[in-house]
Each structure stands twice: as C-alpha cells, then as structure tokens.
Chains A and B, each alone.
Chain A
Amino acid sequence: MDFYLGLLQIIGVHTLLGLSAYVVLLTGQVSMAQAGFYAIGAYVAAMCTAMFGFHILPAILVAGLVTAFVACIVGFPALRVKGLMLVVATLAFGEMVRMFFFNFTWRIERGGELVGPNGAEGFRAIRFFPENGWETGDVTVFIWCVVAVIMAVLWWVDNSRAGAVLRAVGHDETAAQSIGLNLTAIKVGAMTAGGMIAGMGGGIYAHTVTHIEHLVFGVLLATFAIAYPILGGLGSVFGTVIAVVFIQGFLVEGLRFMGEWRSILFGALIVLAMNFRPTGLLGERMPRLFKPRPSESKLEPKGAE
C-alpha cells in the first residue's frame, strides 16, 4: 500500500512541476528554467522547516513566494528575447541555479546537530513529516489537496478572461499586441505564476524525500517539466495530469522490470509522440466534455476576446 501511496506522492509533485511549465507554455514560451525554480523552492522550504522550525504550510508558501520573486526578476531580462533564445536563456538559468546549490553551504546548529545545505553533499535530514507524526497517507492527502487547489485555480484562470489573454499571446504575439495587450507584463506574469507553482512543488518534494542534492535538478527534470504539458496537450490542465500519470505511473514505475532501459524509452517516446501527435494527447482545445457551454467551441481561441 505504501508503494502506491508513494507513487501517488510522486505523481502529485510532478503534476505541480508540469503545471508550472503549463502556465508558461500557454503564452507560447518554452521555459527550461522550471527545474531551477523547483530547486529554489525545495531548498527554501527545507530551510524554513529544518533550520527555522516553520510549519509546512507557511514554509511552502514562503518557498512559492521567494521562487515567484526570482522568476519575476529572471523573467524581465529573459523575456526580452523571444522563442528559441528564451530556451537558451532559461536552460542557462537552470544550470546556474544548480551550480549555485552545488556551491552553497549554510549550516546552523539546531537540536544538537548541524542542519542546512552542505554544498555537493546536499541538504540532509529534512524531517518535518516524521518529526510531526505524519503518516504516508496523511502526506499523500496533503499533497493532493495542494494539487487540487492549484488545478482548480488554473482551471478557473483558463476559463476566465486571463486564460484567453494568455492563449492570445501564445497563438499570435503581433495580433495580441495590436489589440492592446501588454506582452511583457503578460509573459512576466505567466513566468511568475509558473515560478510560484514550481516553488511550491519543489518545497513539497523536498519534504517527501527528506534529502535533496543539486544533481536531481538537472536538465532531465527541466525536460520532464516541459514534456508533461506538451505531451498531454495544452488544451487544459488535465492534459498535464494525464501525461504525468502516464510517464510516472506507467513508464517509470510500470516498466520497472526493464531496468535502466526505461530512460532510453522516455527519449524515444517523446520523439515518436511529437512526430505523430505534435499538439499532444488531448490536443490544443479544451475537451468537449468539460466545456461550460457548447456554443463556445465554435469560437477560435484567437478570436475569443
């Protein structure tokens, strides 16, 4: 049972990571920085609970806010360049964050032992859950509560005016600008929101694994982050969730008997999926089942405003 609960936890945390990339992808920007934001969130939240004795909820909120702030600051210079150059800039940012935590040491004494990030060794003993008597089931419920709240918010944003604005920028920047949308504000806003979600996801992740190190937050994780929404389809938040369940549940856990060959399969799967279904599993539109009104399906996403 614990195995399945653990799997559910992984899926929940990765859903947050995927959703953070989803928000940014809606505006047509491919950000490889999500793993970096995730790392910042993980370290900040872990420092809050392990070093300063916060409760998990404020710790995750602080992690989200700090990461959102960093994402906002990074967003301004990075979004001066468009499309492909942004991939380069965010990739470099992600690696920079990883290298920073590789060199980052700050340990304080608490309860008779030294805690805190310790350079290449990573950050050990993030024991909020065991110290406070949370069972695996409690943790899983907690994670999925957070995921549900964030999904609900994103779902609401998607169906409101803000979602239409984001998609307008994603589909045609020039057209969006010509109807008076402020491109920089929207892109930086999306980046900030994505950073916040990634930070919260990273904060939860740090507490479920109790030990984090810089190696986890590499390019592979950044690829996972953008692969979930693109493979699942940018039509709605459910595409991301389905892709996470498929990749983490089936590809990583279900095919465990294949050993290390799974990681080869992951790359090949992405290549195949992009050749045969480039807009993702659920496509670019919202699934009809979840549409609030049937008449809306006739509108082009571009012309929604």
Chain B
Amino acid sequence: MDYFFFLDLIQFTVDGLLFGTTYALIGIGFTLIFGVMRKLNLAYGAAALAGTYIGLVMFLTFDAHPAIVFLASAIGSGLIGLVVYLCCFRFTPENYPMASLLASVGMLLFIDEVVIHASHGLPYPYPSVFRDAIIEIGDVWVRGDLLFVFFMCVVAMGILFWLLYRTPLGLATRAVSQQPRAAQLCGIDVTRVNMMTFGIAGVLGGIAGAMTAAAVGVLSPVIAMGLTVKGLIVVVIGGLGFIPGAIIAGLLVGAAENIFLLLRGVTERDIYVMLLLFIFLTLRPGGLFGNAQSRD
C-alpha cells in the first residue's frame, strides 16, 4: 500500500462520488414512482435515455447551446414519462401488479428499440461543459465536467425537495404516498398526482441521462441498461420509497463502482456491484435505513 496507490484510491473515490449523483437521481425517480403507486416502473431508464436523445437531436439539428440541450433532455424525458404512465399504468388493473410490471418491461424494449432504430445504434458526441477545467486539491484532481454534473444533480435534488415540501403539489404527492385512499377522501385527484409524479420523475431521469452523457462525452443506447440496473440497485440499498436513502446509496454505489474499477478492471466491475446488492439483500433487505415493514 504505497503512496501512489493510496492517491489513486482517493482519486477514483472522488470521481465516483461526483458521478454517483446521477445514480442518486435515477434512484430518486424510481423511489418517487414507487412511493405514490407502489409499483415498479422498469421503463424508467429507457425513458431517461430517450429524453437524452431528444436533447441530442436539438444539439445536432440546431447546434443549440448545452444549457438548452440539457433542458430539452429533461423536458423530453418528462413527457415520455407521462406517455409511459398512460400506456403501462393508467389502464392496467390495480390489484394485478404483474400486468403493469410486464407492460413497463414491454415499454422498456419498445423505447430501446425505437432509439436504436432512430440512431442506427451508433454512439453520438454529446455536449459537455468545463471539459478542460481541472481543480487541483493537493495531488488529487477534480475534473470540471464531473463537478458540473455533481452541481447540476444537487440543484435538481434541491428543486425536488422544494417541490415536495413547500408546494401544495408536494403535499398532495406525500399524502398519496402515505395513504392513497385517505388522500382521495380529502379531495386529492390521485390520477393527477400519479401523472405529475411520473412527469417529475421523468424530468429527473432526463437530467440524470443528460449528465451521464455529458460526463462520458458520447451518447449510445447501451447506457439505458446501465441506468436502469444501477438505479434499481441504488433503490434497494437506499430502501424503497425513501429519498435521502436513495441519495446516499447513489453516492455509495458510484464510489464503490470506481473502487472496483481500480482494483479489478472494467470487465469485472459490474459483477462486484451486483454482489454488493446481494449482500445488502441478504443482510439488510429493507435497505440501509429501512425497517422490516418497508420490505415489500
């Protein structure tokens, strides 16, 4: 354990923590939807990817400013989130969870294939900002683009918290996630809240997708699967339906992933992340902060 190895370890951990915020966003999206509907939306990662591609179209056709590209990604993904809700959750029976689950898997394949067709499966360059800026803290370098990703994700989380805890819509959302029946009796339109939640979660997913693409520099359809699986792992580790848990778990997964990347190489990295998930499932099925009741 020499100095340079130690330095590498810190460097990879910092990069991982910064990039982990995108996982945290995806995890929050899954958690939000699960919170209000008690259902898993597996098409979420694909919707985020499709939204990111909408941003890419803006970039390629109008040569738009990165800020507009990111905005288009977020809004596009939010709209696709609404479509996913209407197609997979609105009209499938409430008491038969398998139907909506399978429908969302079908939607995942559908969106994925449409994106692959539209883009011919080729990776495209995606705009990034502060690519060349590097902040040096001692011997550890902090990449400017990763710092930007981190900053954007934190801002998105801040807005989400403001929405959830300071607005009537947030109050309604929290009410529905606590007790759908009681919320309905208080005059809250549950369908509308569900729709809004899918839209908001979609926007978060779009930001996460855009930030992932911006950090990598290229956009290709393969990141959809990564977003989905990593997001689900974050949800499991953080505990379903618990937003702060998702944030911490996202950072944790980002850091752990990079440490495994350093120790075991890129081809074996994901195996260890999955193993981490299994350890959590065995030892703490309710997640880091969950209790026994939140298992389902």
List chain A positions with a Cβ less than 8 A from chain B: 25, 30, 77-78, 80-85, 87-89, 91-93, 95-96, 99-100, 102-103, 120, 219-220, 223, 226-227, 230-231, 260-261, 263-264, 266-271, 274-275, 278-279
Contact = CB atoms under 8 A, between A and B. Distances in A.
Nearest to A277: B99
Interface stretch (B140-148, B209-217, B268-276): B268-276
A264 B117 contact: yes
B92 to A, nearest CB: 6
B96 interface: yes
Contacts of B97: 83-84
A120 B267 CA distance: 10
12 contacts: A25-B98, A80-B285, A85-B240, A87-B42, A88-B233, A88-B236, A96-B278, A223-B109, A226-B102, A267-B113, A274-B92, A274-B100
Contact of B281 (A81, A227, A261, A275): A81
B102 A96 contact: no
Nearest to A77: B282
B105 A85 contact: no
B92 A95 contact: no
Contact of A87 (B40, B93, B99, B285): B40
Interface residues of B, number: 48
B145 to A, nearest CB: 28
A80 B284 CA distance: 10
A30 B98 contact: yes
B113 A99 contact: no
Contact of A267 (B108, B229, B268): B108
Given A84-B39, A268-B106, A271-B87, A96 B271 contact: yes
Contact of A270 (B39, B91, B106, B274): B106
A274 B240 CA distance: 25
Contacts of B54: none
Nearest to B236: A88
Contacts of A263: 109, 113
A274 B233 CA distance: 26
A270 B103 contact: yes
Interface in B43-101: 87-88, 91-93, 96-101
B124 interface: no
Task: State the majority secondary structure of interface residues on A.
Answer: helix
A84 B274 contact: no
Contacts, number: 138
Given A81-B281, A92-B232, A279 B96 contact: yes
B277 interface: yes
Contacts of B255: none
Contact of B229 (A91, A269, A278): A91
B109 A230 contact: no
Given A223-B105, A230-B98, A271-B87, 17 more contacts: A77-B281, A80-B285, A84-B101, A85-B236, A85-B296, A87-B42, A89-B281, A92-B232, A92-B277, A95-B274, A96-B271, A100-B271, A223-B109, A264-B117, A267-B108, A271-B103, A275-B103
A93 to B, nearest CB: 7
B276 to A, nearest CB: 10
B225 interface: yes
B278 A77 contact: yes
A123 B108 CA distance: 29
B49 to A, nearest CB: 14
Contact of B117 (A87, A260, A279): A260
B101 A78 contact: no
B233 A92 contact: yes
Contacts of B114: 264
Chain B CB within 10 Å — which of A82, A83, A85, A99 has the most? A85
Contact of A102 (B99, B105, B267): B267
A80 B106 contact: no
Contacts of B98: 25, 30, 230, 278
Contacts of A219: 225
A96 B275 contact: yes
A206 to B, nearest CB: 22
A98 B282 CA distance: 21
A267 to B, nearest CB: 3
A274 B109 contact: no
A231 B270 CA distance: 32
A271 B102 CA distance: 8
A10 B174 CA distance: 49
Nearest to A270: B106
B281 A85 contact: yes
Contacts of B192: none
A279 B96 CA distance: 8
A226 B105 CA distance: 10
Contacts of A271: 87-88, 103, 106-107, 110
Chain B CB within 10 Å — which of A268, A269, A271 has the most? A271
B288 to A, nearest CB: 14
A274 B103 contact: yes
B295 interface: yes
Given A91-B229, A103-B271, A220 B240 contact: no
Interface string B201-231: 0000000000000000000000001000100
